[in-house]
């Protein structure tokens, strides 16, 4: 199993996101900043091989990942099947464990909903 090493500096995350077109790289960076603002207890790690920024909690383990795509950003929750999806925000019902939130790069990221999902994602595995 690969080890999860937090980015030594925010530059590693910035360098990774700079490899994407500005239209998704810049919004993905804003989403990373928002996640860290909402959950400063998460550790961010640039994963160049996956093209993602992943977040880990010291007790809950892997929580989520930001995956910039060609024309959207996916916020993937490692144990998304365990999260309440009564609001219908999460996709991936056919997946074994993961669910994700599909975000348009030009949209405002909903901090209230993201905060609740992140809190639940940490709580279900702590």
Band of pLDDT at residue 2, cut at 50, 70 and 90: very low
Residues 50-77: tens digit of each pLDDT: 999 999 999 999 999 999 999 999 999 9
> Tokens 């790289």 — which residue?
25
Tell me the pLDDT of the chain averaged across its residues.
90
pTM: 0.90
3-state secondary structure at position 94: coil
Whether CATH 3.90.1150.200 fits 10-123: yes
- CB half-sphere exposure, 36, CA atoms < 13 A: 16
For residue 41, which of 84, 82, 6 has the smallest C-alpha distance? 6
**Does residue 73 contact residue 103 with C-beta atoms inside 8 Å?**
yes
Sign of CA dihedral 112, 115, 116, 117: positive
């Amino acid at each position: 199993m690969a080890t999860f090493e937090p980015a030594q500096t925010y530059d590693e995350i910035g360098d990774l996101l700079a490899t994407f077109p500005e239209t998704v790289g810049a919004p993905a960076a804003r989403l990373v900043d928002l996640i860290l603002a909402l959950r400063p207890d998460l550790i961010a790690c640039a994963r160049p091989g996956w093209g993602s920024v992943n977040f880990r909690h010291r007790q809950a383990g892997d929580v989520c990942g930001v995956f910039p795509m060609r024309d959207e950003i996916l916020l993937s929750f490692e144990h998304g099947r365990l999260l309440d999806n009564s609001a219908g925000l999460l996709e991936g019902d056919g997946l074994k464990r993961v669910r994700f939130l599909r975000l348009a790069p030009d949209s405002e990221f909903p901090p209230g909903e993201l905060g609740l999902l992140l809190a639940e994602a940490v709580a279900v595995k702590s």
